[in-house]
Amino acid sequence: MEGEKKVAAMEGEEKKEVGAVDVSLKELSKKLHDFAKERDWEQYHSPRNLLLAMVAEVGELSELFMWKGEVRKGLPGWEEAEKEHLGEELSDVLLYLIRLSDMCGVDLGDAATRKIVKNAVKYPAPTKGA
């Protein structure tokens, strides 16, 4: 019983953290568009440049995990500054991915939703009780 409450509390915390900022891909896309336009950076945002920038950010993200061995869920033992840095690098990757998708004319939310459906067909869940 006590264990169940603890798990429920942890799930609640996780949901709270995940749902703390509810922002759509379209909102982020608009912010990125405005950010680039205000700085006249649209000229640099070719698909190739954005792809290379995203890959560079994946490298920065990878550095945070480099030489740490296996990292457990929740990142126990990581300092708050490291977790904050991780959030920044994850964001860099996401933001370049969104911008790249926009510059390629791909609706990322739609494409990702379709891909999940496609994956479910390709990798069907095992039937229970069989």
Mapped onto helix, strand or coil, the DSSP state of residue 25 is helix
Least distance from C-beta 77 to Mg ion, angstroms?
23
Least distance from C-beta 101 to Mg ion, angstroms?
19
Q: At what angle do helices 80-103 and 25-38 cross, to 10 degrees?
A: 80
Stretch touching Mg ion by CB under 5 A, among 13-21, 51-59, 63-71, 108-116: 51-59
Least distance from C-beta 18 to Mg ion, angstroms?
22
Q: State which residue, 57 or 102, has the beta carbon closest to Mg ion.
A: 57
Contacting residue, 13, 60, 84, 110, with Mg ion by CB under 5 A = 60
Helix H, strand E, coil C: the string for 57-121 is HHHHHHHHHCCCCCCCCCCCCCCHHHHHHHHHHHHHHHHHHHHHHHHCCCCHHHHHHHHHHHHHH
Least distance from C-beta 88 to Mg ion, angstroms?
6
The span from the CA of 58 to the CA of 50, in Å, is 12
C-alpha dist (Å) from residue 61 to 66, 89, 96: 9, 5, 13
- The answer to the question of residue 84 lying near Mg ion (CB under 5 A) is no
Residue count, binding to Mg ion (CB under 5 A): 4
Contacting residue, 36, 49, 51, 92, with Mg ion by CB under 5 A = 92
Residues that bind Mg ion (CB under 5 A): 57, 60, 89, 92
